[in-house]
Amino acid sequence: MAKVVGDIAVNIERCKGCEVCVGVCPQQVIGMSVEVNGKGYHYAGPVNDKCTGCENCALVCPDGCITVYRMKVEVEQ
């Protein structure tokens, strides 16, 4: 059986910490960091491995700082 796994890469210095991506993620993957970036914003980032690469977060990110990767992996039953 094939399973889809994804990952997001956030451009930390471009993230303005608006948190719009957090609410649209169906898998609750995204959380805000405790640290701040160069401009003083708490930036977004993945907090678990449940990402399916659905692109929702990247579509709503106003600053376009999320890059999405997706691959299929074969899982043995």
Partner 1 sequence: MEKTINKEQIRKPENLVYRRTPLLVDVPLSYCPGCGHGTAHRMIMEVIEEMGIQQDTIGIAPVGCSVLAYDFLDIDMQQAAHGRAPALATAIKRLWPDKFVFTYQGDGDLAAIGTAETIHACNRGEHFTMIFVNNGIYGMTGGQMAPTTLPHMRSSTSPYGRDVEIMGFPLKMTELITHLPGTYYVTRQSVHTPANVRKTKKAIRKAFENQKLKKGISFVEIVSNCNSGWKMNAVQANKWMEENMFPFYPLGDLKVDGQIVEKK
- Contact residues: partner 1, CB under 8 A: 5-7, 9, 11, 14, 16-20, 22-24, 41, 53, 55-56, 58-71, 73, 75-76
Q: Give the residue with the Cβ less far from partner 1, 26 or 34.
A: 26
> Least distance to partner 1 from the beta carbon of 33, Å?
14
For residues 5 and 27, which CB has a smaller minimum distance to partner 1 in the complex?
A: 5
Helix (H, G, I), strand (E, B) or coil at 59: helix
CB-based contact 70:52 (threshold 8 Å): yes
Query: Taking a C-beta distance cutoff of 8 angstroms, is the pair 67, 5 a contact?
Result: no
Alpha carbons 49 and 39: distance in angstroms, whole number: 28
> Based on CB atoms, which residue is closest to partner 1, 34 or 71?
71
